[in-house]
Chain A
Amino acid sequence: MITTPEFTGTHLWDRLCWAKENLEGVQSDYRVVFEDNVDECAKIMVPDPNWMACALQGGILPPVEVYWELAKDEAQPDFKRHTRGYLLHETPPIGPMTEEQAIEYLIMKDCPQSVWQTWDEGNRPKMVICKKSQLPATREWRNSWRISDDLDLAA
């Protein structure tokens, strides 16, 4: 396995360029199905293969909390442009993750907080991690897809 260079202080973009050149993409079999609006169909998050390779390799990606900080800045009414982008580049990168840990990271980065912070509150789950094979085989009635009420969450 190739060794990740010491990337602390290296621009995140440069780290991604190194990863693109040196790491094989990893197509994850995991999918995250979530519902963030009762009037809309379920959404399905698919990890990017190059990002997954970075997550498994370690030493490349910033902690997910960095993205939360930038999201807070962008939520300010007078936001024009990020002034704390250095958080992405100067925060020491995190170590290697398992594929499952990477999916958790991705949920906390790319899914709405209103979904993952309260996914199991209410009458039915708002979010489910599943395998690709557990999704419908065709996109027929895609606009009507919902998380099943018959989930065995202990499985």
Chain B
Amino acid sequence: MAFGIIKADTLTHSTAGSVGTDFVVQGSAKAWSNYTSSTTTSYRDSHNFTSIIDDEPGVTTHSFVSSMANNDYSVSTSASAVETGTGSLGGTDHARNYTTSSFKHVTATGAAALTDRPHINNQVCGDLA
């Protein structure tokens, strides 16, 4: 099995111009996950995580395989109160406790009570170590 590598600093389109490959690298998500914390906490699918820890209702810890360079990275999050069909979240979710090796994802009701959700997502952008 060959592991192909193309090294380039610039991608050039025939008419639309050029973009440096550093833009692609910098702008790509370095980790992402789709998981549930209802019934049993587990990833449905993910990239660049070693484990998910069910800390308590509404709080999970996500640990990186390939660590981040610093703790100033960005985590975009979302959570749904319903698995399928219609419905609204009626609450909030966010990331906290950023370290280069992990972060916590918190989901809460509209009344700010921590709660589990059946469909939760996060994406991490930033620099890898």
| Residues of chain A having any CB pair with chain B under 8 Å | 2-3, 5-7, 10-13, 16, 18, 20, 22, 25, 27, 40-41, 43-51, 54, 61, 67, 70-71, 74, 80-82, 85, 88, 106, 109-110, 132, 135, 138-139, 142-143
Across the interface, A85 reaches (CB within 8 A) one of B1, B46, B65, B67, namely: B67
| Residues of chain B having any CB pair with chain A under 8 Å | 1-3, 30, 38-43, 45-57, 61, 63, 65-67, 69-70, 99-102, 116, 128-129
A47–B51 contact, CB under 8 A? yes
A interface majority secondary structure: mixed
A51–B49 contact, CB under 8 A? yes
Chain B residues with Cβ below 8 Å from A143 are: 56-57
A82–B54 contact, CB under 8 A? no
Chain A residues with Cβ below 8 Å from B53 are: 43-46, 110
A13–B57 contact, CB under 8 A? no
B1–A3 contact, CB under 8 A? yes
Across the interface, A51 reaches (CB within 8 A) one of B39, B65, B129, namely: B65
B interface majority secondary structure: loop
Give Cα A49–Cα B52 distance, bound, in whole angstroms.
Answer: 10
A109–B42 contact, CB under 8 A? no
Write the chain B residue with the least CB distance to A40: B56
A to B CB contacts below 8 Å, 25 in the list = A5-B2, A7-B3, A10-B3, A11-B66, A13-B30, A16-B47, A16-B48, A27-B42, A45-B54, A46-B53, A47-B51, A48-B46, A50-B47, A50-B49, A70-B101, A70-B129, A74-B99, A85-B67, A88-B66, A106-B51, A110-B50, A110-B61, A110-B63, A110-B102, A142-B116
Write the chain B residue with the least CB distance to A82: B129
A80–B67 contact, CB under 8 A? no
Chain A residues with Cβ below 8 Å from B49 are: 48, 50-51
A138–B50 contact, CB under 8 A? no
Across the interface, A50 reaches (CB within 8 A) one of B46, B54, B66, namely: B46
Chain B residues with Cβ below 8 Å from A109 are: 50, 63
